[in-house]
Amino acid sequence: MAIVETTELTRCYDDLVAVNSVSISVEPAEIFGLLGPNGAGKTTVIKMLTTILPPTSGTAVIKGFDIRRQAASVRRVIGYVPQLLSADGTLTGRENLLIFAELYDVPKSEREARINEVLDFLGLSASADRLVREYSGGMIRRLEIAQSTLHHPSVLFLDEPTTGLDPLARTAVWEHIRALRSQYGITIVLTTHLMDEADRLSDRVAIMSAGQVAVVGKPSELKKSVGKENATLDDVFINYTGGQPEGGAYRDVERARRVARRVG
Amino acid sequence: MTLNERDESHAESADRKVSAVVGFIRKTLIIAQMEILRLRHDPTELFSRAVQPALWLLIFGEVFARTKAVPTQGLPYLDFIAPGILAQSVLFIAIFYGIAVIWERDLGIVHKLLVSPAPRTSLVLGKALSAGIRGLSQAVVIYLLAMLLGVRLNWNFTALLGVVVIVILGASLFSTFSLVIASVVRTRERFMGIGQILTMPLFFASNAIYPVSLMPAWLRAISHCNPLTYEVDALRTLMVTGATSVYGLSIDLAILGGITAVLVTIGGWLYPNLAR
């Protein structure tokens, strides 16, 4: 049975249809990628699934809870890493974790052990007591993943998890995402505009363009379906959407640049 | 359902209500705890914020004290304005809280808080309490300055506790007002303009540096709708020996508490707008 199931999920802003009738289903312990250029509607889908944004129509169910009617229950079973680097730079890594452990009602007796566990898991034990503003971009990302998994969520949403990171930090984040699935069985839904990232990390991808899902499938099968030798997901994108894998609303590009600046 | 079962289900529902209230308070305090941790790492702001009230007391207060032109309910002028300057500096800190909230939105912190199980109103009330904590640091500075300037401060424990409550309430009220505006305008540039427009009129249309009785009728009417007037009235009554309340302490408290409660409710409703 699917752990995330959306049914004709739609979000409009005045005249603009940002997400148009998206129906996808994600299996437990799957790494599912929403792939598309900036402005394709990926972040809007994630905002609706994480209950930040109410859908205009359609709905979604996460681990049996409806995002409209049972938003509070949904929030208890999910974790979320936004596209922006959102750890608080004025606090230490450990304090960032402590605040979220308390917000997520991690029992007091387990708090310290859980914090040490995630710090160790994400390779941040040595820098736990340093202010986050002294961290590198890759370290902040790992800290955010730690923050969002402290309460042992069933589903983790990652919005553009490697935007602005250098290749080495990117690979480290990928490894940690894979390990979260293999060690804790967490279902991961991530958005990315990087074809390479989607290809190497996801079990299945949904290719999005102009607010709609063009096609869903395993990267290998999708590439095979194009009928071209050594096809890439770029070819898949062009084949199924008829467009080029570039784009971007002003707001999305601005947000990506802001993250890049913070990463340094 | 038997009577026993009905009793048990009532007890369970009462338990749930109690744990919801406890959870709400705990989440509120966690958000305020974030502010204390921030201040502990970087306390410099506390000192730089002390400059402005010091100028008001040392220069404006000292000069106007010599004119003896302002009727001050029988108090020396410095005694009269010290609570007004405290209310003013709390207002200035609180009214720009909206900028901090927009900044947190730009960093994605607001998004993450909204995805947590914490009730929206507890997030807003936590922010309000954070402003209260910063406000209290101003109270310490102003008490020190007032002491040096010979203001006859009331050191009665209950009165001091009252000042703590009023400072927290005043900071909560104006910071939540600021959060509500931030949730509507959503950008720093627009907010800065509105923040500038609001602070000075709120200050001058209050009894902070002159009594309401001295104002023309139209300004007096405005000052009676201005929560800062009631904050100053309560602070003056509690802070200074020999001062008496114009409106009554219970009226001051009821007005400040009531407006804060309404604003926190509106804030809880509008706060998610920031992340949309």
Instruction: Judge whether B27 is closer than 8 Å to chain A, CB to CB.
Output: yes
| pLDDT for B125 | 97
**Residue B68 has what pLDDT?**
77
Asked whether the beta carbons of residue A53 and residue B34 sit closer than 8 angstroms, the reply is: no
Q: Whole-angstrom Cα distance, residue B254 to residue B261?
A: 10
Residue B48 is predicted with a pLDDT of 83
When pLDDT is averaged across residues B242-259 and rounded to a whole number, the result is: 96
Query: Residue B24's pLDDT is what?
Result: 93
pLDDT recorded at residue A262:
59
**pLDDT for B197:** 87
* Side chain identity at residue A74, one-letter code: V
CB contact under 8 A, B117 and A47: no
Chain A residues interacting with chain B (CB cutoff of 8 angstroms): 47, 50-53, 72, 75-76, 78, 80, 82-86, 88, 90-92, 95, 99-100, 102-105, 131, 147-148, 258
From chain A, pick out residues whose CB is under 8 angstroms from the CB of B28: none
pLDDT for residue B72 is more than 90: no
Number of domains in chain B: 1
For chain A, how far is it from start to end, CA to CA, in angstroms?
42
CATH number of A4-263: 3.40.50.300
Residue corresponding to tokens 């994108």 = A237
Per-residue pLDDT of chain A (264 residues; tens, 9 = 90+): 899 999 999 999 988 999 999 999 999 999 999 999 888 999 999 999 999 999 999 999 999 999 999 999 999 999 999 988 889 999 999 999 999 999 999 999 999 999 999 999 999 999 999 999 999 989 999 999 999 999 999 999 999 999 888 888 889 899 999 999 999 999 999 999 888 899 999 999 999 999 999 999 999 999 999 888 888 888 898 888 877 655 555 555 556 556 656 555
When CB atoms are compared, the residue of B27, B37, B41 closest to A103 is B27
Domain ranges for chain A, please list them: 4-263
Separation between Cα atoms, residue B42 and residue B49, nearest integer Å = 13
Residue B270 forms contact with A (CB below 8 Å)? no
| B150-182 pLDDT, tens digit each | 999 999 999 999 999 999 999 999 999 999 999
**Alpha-carbon gap: A41 to the closest alpha carbon of chain B (Å):** 13
Query: Residue B207's domain spans which residues?
Result: 3-275
What sign has the CA pseudo-torsion A165, A171, A176, A181? positive
Query: Dihedral, CA atoms, A202, A207, A208, A212, nearest 10 degrees?
Result: -120
Interchain contact, A52 vs B272, CB within 8 Å = yes
